[in-house]
């Protein structure tokens, strides 16, 4: 009998395809956070999908694994943004869309922000 490969879902959280506007800054070192908040270039892009564990960004530029980002999620359903910190887990060029797909894991998420994302995910 031939060996068969079985796909096992490794994600801990349900993920849905959803476009959400995201603004992010790359944070180099925790001691520089205040300086970076005021001086760092902000990049705006869209998500490909979202879960309470993280998001996948679609962007012109690739990011490096282990970079820490300050993320602002602009959700249509609420008037204020979700602001949190996240870590880049992977980034790869998608030749079909000629942009980078980047997996981002939330490092911290307030309970009320988590609930808002859970409402989107369903």
Q: For domain 16-109, give the CATH superfamily.
A: predicted glycosyltransferase like domains (2.40.10.220)
Whether this prediction's pTM lies above 0.95 is answered by: no
State how far Cα 112 lies from the chain centre. 18
How far apart CA 60 and CA 43 sit, in angstroms, is: 10
If the chain, 122 residues long, is cut into consecutive pieces of 10 residues, what is the mean pLDDT of each piece?
57 78 73 60 87 93 90 80 92 96 94 88 82
pLDDT for res 9: 57
pLDDT for res 1: 46
Within 8 A by CB and 6+ apart from 49, the residues are 15, 16, 17, 18, 55, 56
pLDDT for res 33: 61
pLDDT for res 16: 78
pLDDT for res 107: 94
């Amino acid at each position: 009998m031939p060996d068969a490969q079985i796909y096992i879902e490794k994600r801990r959280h349900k993920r849905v395809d959803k476009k959400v506007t995201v603004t992010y800054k790359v944070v180099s070192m925790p001691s520089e956070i205040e300086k970076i908040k005021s001086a760092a270039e902000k990049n705006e892009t869209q998500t490909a999908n979202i879960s309470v564990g993280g998001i996948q960004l679609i962007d012109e530029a690739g990011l490096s694994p282990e970079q820490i980002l300050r993320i602002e999620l602009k959700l249509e359903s609420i008037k204020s943004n979700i602001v949190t910190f996240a870590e880049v887990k992977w980034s790869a060029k998608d030749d079909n869309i000629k942009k980078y797909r980047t997996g981002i894991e939330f490092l911290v998420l307030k309970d009320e922000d988590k609930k808002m994302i859970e409402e989107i995910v369903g």
